[in-house]
Structure 1
Amino acid sequence: MQGQDVELDVTTIAHGGISVARLDGRVVFVTDAIPGERVVARITDDRKKSFWRADTVSVVEASEHRRPHVWDAASIDRDPAQRAGGAEFGHIALPHQRELKRQVLVDALTRMGHLDASVTDGVSVEALAGDDDLSGTRWRTRIRLHVDESGRPGPFAARSHTVVPVDDLPLATEAVEEAAPLEQLFPGEEQIDILAPAEGGARLIIGSQAKTTVRERVGDREFQLDDGGFWQVHRLAATTLTEAVQDLVDPARFDPRAMNLDLYGGVGLLAAAVGDRFGQATRITSVESDPRATDHAAENLQEWIGATAVTGRVERWISQLASTASAGERERLNRATVVLDPPRSGAGKDVVMRIASIEPAQIIYVACDPVALARDVALFAERGYRVEALRAFDLFPNTHHLETVVRLSR
């Protein structure tokens, strides 16, 4: 069947930005489709007995939510092998994108996280200011291009390592798009990063060139970091997550003198959010494995007299803390608020169990993957922690990604 075109009735959305159909009883995961549509799709992978994969090549019966793709380079009019990746929801009207993301989030949290409807009822994926006016474009302050054998830069095609030449980058901010060297050649290089931080204008990072420091801004606060270091991509994401964490921390459970923790702390964004919310005397330790990020975090958090930035792998650091804490430290840990913002794969069983073992008063979990979040929520539940509050944000318009912030407590 591989390479064959078939007609499919698309029924639901799945995690990862793909839709679900059935062919002779077999599940088929279909790209570039919308639930409710009938499409012609090309089978791209028939090796599994339980499911196949396919790419939409034309639409027989279109959803009312289908629109012209915001990026011609990713349009259904192109051969699937030459569609630019990174805008897999660009053919869907923005409100329905958010509804599909909500469905994925709620399904993961109820089916895998075992949350009941009282927690997930009323959840919506919140838009960021200005995104609707721009059709979900012009939000990326950072973008990575890959370089093909000829030296031409471009994005990878969806679900491949094929570099696709493009003429524009509509999800990028205007400053990033203007700086992107789409017509230049870079023989011998593998990738090019373009970023437009809050201060200093747009810049390129070609290959492994020496790092420089850039400055980002959240409200009146300034953060320094390496130009290649991690920072939220959406122009308003850092501000949005700062406000969300401040909103979800329960002040009745917060003790500024406790051993509060910021795990996977990066350059100190969320530790600063907590410090700004509860005052300069707040005690909080930010833990990050990247020593350069830790150095920057120490600078960014220096005005809080109780703030500390340490370098360490979270799973090892929290394990040592849990096993060596004195009686006095354990009492301060029991009163603590733990903020964690793990990578897309989530915190995982070891970290969740170690956090739960120190029995903090509350946990604020920032997640960029709903399935990883649901898995970790279920693990926390085994140790007596339940989700009390939940917010979700559309930090990645025209893609399947979303960001979720939850509060857990005993």
Structure 2
Amino acid sequence: MARTLELDVGPVAHGGVFVARHEGRVVFTSDALPGERVRARVIDDRHDRYWRAETVEVLEASDDRVDHVWSAASLERDPAERAGGAEFGHIRLARQRELKADVLREAFERFAGLEADPVVEAVPLGEDAPPGASDAGSAWRTRVRLQVAPDGTLGPFAARSHDVVPVADLPLAAPAVAAAAPLGQRFPGAAHVDVVAPGEGGARVLVAERDRRGKPRKPPRGEIVEVVDGRAFTLEQGGFWQVHVNAARTLSRAVQDAIDGSAFDPRAANLDLYGGVGLLAAAVGDRFGETVRITTVEADERATDHAAANLADWVGAAAVTARVDRFVQGLVADASRAERQALAEATVVLDPPRSGAGRAVIAALGELRPRQLVYVACDPVALARDVGYLREAGYGLEELRAFDLFPNTHHVEAVARLGSIVA
């Protein structure tokens, strides 16, 4: 039988859990809040330095605790049956943002050696949002992935597991997604079901079947159109796009604002790394004009094809299919003297996956020495680690903003500008 502990809960930690201690050992505890006293069930005691636990009862509640936004993820359910994906849903929204800022601050101190004081900004949903949705942090997801159990049952994974939990509603989903989600239906043999509600056209349900080895197949091909500030972007229906209904516009404007115009050269070899279908390259072009020279680099060939079409308004835009690490290392190895100069005068925008750009990419950028970098990140620790690498390479952090693009979860999006401090 699993061990149960009474714990006094301390600060937030990366990953949506909170730090408590038991007999000198750290216990990372979910579904809690700083200052609370809880009864928690230990779910992992394999490590000498720390354990993991899940709250089963609140003995002394924080004033910031509220009724969970999603009953399927609340304390009323056994931890093994709580839906994942809303791990901060029991916390007042303003307090959620403070906790996310705490995680960013601690990550920068620990991994970048910097003192940062970010404020996590709320992001509005728009005029079409249901009444009260912004205050509740609900109705923002334009994309939802539902997993399929061996018997065909559909639902999210339980928190911190791969067990499928049937649910009756999806409160974080945008109305079109919630209405189209085939909850209660069975999909025997499928791997997962994606529900996508693009900016134009109705919601789509994309079923990923399993191949003979049990691996998920790619969903059926098809195009969708997303619209950002009046500009249309075509992409694959199963391709990457920001999840929050207002995320693409928010990040486009944040990147535009982050670029230091006095350091920007439209004729330089400007880069948009991990560029997807060209969203942020277009943001640069919209700010600085149609003659901007910018190359967007993306490993997904289909996304690169769409980027080329989406960036057709800019005569100096190009789209390259390549892994970013190989692309920038190739520039280090092969760039001519003139190309090196154009890169040294460049602005580089990068929006890597959750794992971050990593040491190899940062080292290559350090060799190329672009004038400024604008880094878009969805993981605070990966961002802080890479900022630390960039500091070693001679760059200084000049600006940091953060956005609450994932309300009721622990995730946060950040945009950082770094400039070269080495002549």
Do the aligned residues in 1 keep the contact of 2:9 with 2:36 (CA within 8 Å)?
yes
* SS at 1:397 equivalent: coil
Do the aligned residues in 2 keep the contact of 1:272 with 1:301 (CA within 8 Å)?
yes
Aligned counterparts of 2:137 and 2:108: Cα–Cα separation in 1: 26
Match of 2:359 among 326, 330, 349: 349
What residue in structure 2 maps to residue 264 of structure 1? 274
For 1:17, give the aligned amino acid: G
What residue in structure 1 maps to residue 212 of structure 2? none
Q: CA deviation at 1:91?
A: 0.2
Aligned counterparts of 1:10 and 1:215: Cα–Cα separation in 2: 46
Q: CA deviation at 1:132?
A: 6.5
Does 2:92 correspond to 1:93?
yes
Q: CA deviation at 1:160?
A: 0.6
Identity among equivalent pairs (%):
60
Aligned counterparts of 1:72 and 1:318: Cα–Cα separation in 2: 47
For 2:294, give the aligned amino acid: I
Q: Deviations over 1:50-72 (max 9, x none)?
A: 00010000000000000000000
Aligned counterparts of 1:108 and 1:209: Cα–Cα separation in 2: 36
What residue in structure 1 maps to residue 334 of structure 2? 324
Aligned counterparts of 1:237 and 1:83: Cα–Cα separation in 2: 27
What residue in structure 1 maps to residue 215 of structure 2? none
Q: Deviations over 1:129-172 (max 9, x none)?
A: 14873410000000000111221110000011100000000000
Does 2:142 correspond to 1:141?
yes
* SS at 1:69 equivalent: coil
Do the aligned residues in 1 keep the contact of 2:329 with 2:364 (CA within 8 Å)?
yes
* SS at 1:354 equivalent: helix
For 1:230, give the aligned amino acid: F
Within 5 Å, give how 1:44-55 maps onto structure 2: 44-55=43-54
Aligned counterparts of 1:363 and 1:175: Cα–Cα separation in 2: 37
- The gaps in structure 2 that reach 5 residues or longer are 126-131, 209-217
What residue in structure 2 maps to residue 196 of structure 1? 197
What residue in structure 2 maps to residue 297 of structure 1? 307
- CA RMSD across the alignment: 0.9
For 2:270, give the aligned amino acid: N
Aligned counterparts of 1:149 and 1:349: Cα–Cα separation in 2: 40
When normalised by structure 2's length, the TM-score is 0.95
Does 2:256 correspond to 1:228?
no
What residue in structure 2 maps to residue 126 of structure 1? 121
What residue in structure 2 maps to residue 64 of structure 1? 63
Q: CA deviation at 1:241?
A: 0.1
* SS at 1:103 equivalent: helix
Aligned counterparts of 1:195 and 1:210: Cα–Cα separation in 2: 13
What residue in structure 2 maps to residue 243 of structure 1? 253
Q: CA deviation at 1:209?
A: 3.8
What residue in structure 1 maps to residue 223 of structure 2? 213
Do the aligned residues in 2 keep the contact of 1:94 with 1:132 (CA within 8 Å)?
no
Do the aligned residues in 1 keep the contact of 2:133 with 2:139 (CA within 8 Å)?
no
Does 2:81 correspond to 1:82?
yes
Do the aligned residues in 2 keep the contact of 1:9 with 1:38 (CA within 8 Å)?
yes
Does 2:349 correspond to 1:339?
yes
Count of residue pairs the alignment pairs up = 405
What residue in structure 2 maps to residue 110 of structure 1? 109
When normalised by structure 1's length, the TM-score is 0.98
* SS at 1:378 equivalent: helix
For 1:96, give the aligned amino acid: R
Aligned counterparts of 1:190 and 1:358: Cα–Cα separation in 2: 43
Aligned counterparts of 2:356 and 2:186: Cα–Cα separation in 1: 37
* SS at 2:137 equivalent: coil
Q: Deviations over 1:178-221 (max 9, x none)?
A: 00000211111110000100011101001144210000010110
Structure 1 consecutive aligned stretches of length 4 or more whose deviation exceeds 2 Å: 130-134
For 2:174, give the aligned amino acid: T
Q: Deviations over 1:10-54 (max 9, x none)?
A: 011000000000000000000100011000000111110000010
Do the aligned residues in 1 keep the contact of 2:219 with 2:238 (CA within 8 Å)?
no
For 1:126, give the aligned amino acid: E
Q: Deviations over 1:274-305 (max 9, x none)?
A: 00000000000000000000000000001100
Aligned counterparts of 2:339 and 2:27: Cα–Cα separation in 1: 53
Match of 1:362 among 368, 372, 382: 372
Do the aligned residues in 1 keep the contact of 2:255 with 2:374 (CA within 8 Å)?
yes
Aligned counterparts of 2:219 and 2:159: Cα–Cα separation in 1: 27
Match of 2:393 among 383, 398, 402: 383
Q: Deviations over 1:255-276 (max 9, x none)?
A: 0000000000000000000000
What residue in structure 1 maps to residue 13 of structure 2? 14
Aligned counterparts of 1:209 and 1:275: Cα–Cα separation in 2: 32
What residue in structure 2 maps to residue 175 of structure 1? 176
* SS at 2:134 equivalent: coil
Within 5 Å, give how 1:273-288 maps onto structure 2: 273-288=283-298
Q: CA deviation at 1:322?
A: 1.4
Within 5 Å, give how 1:300-315 maps onto structure 2: 300-315=310-325
Q: CA deviation at 1:111?
A: 1.7
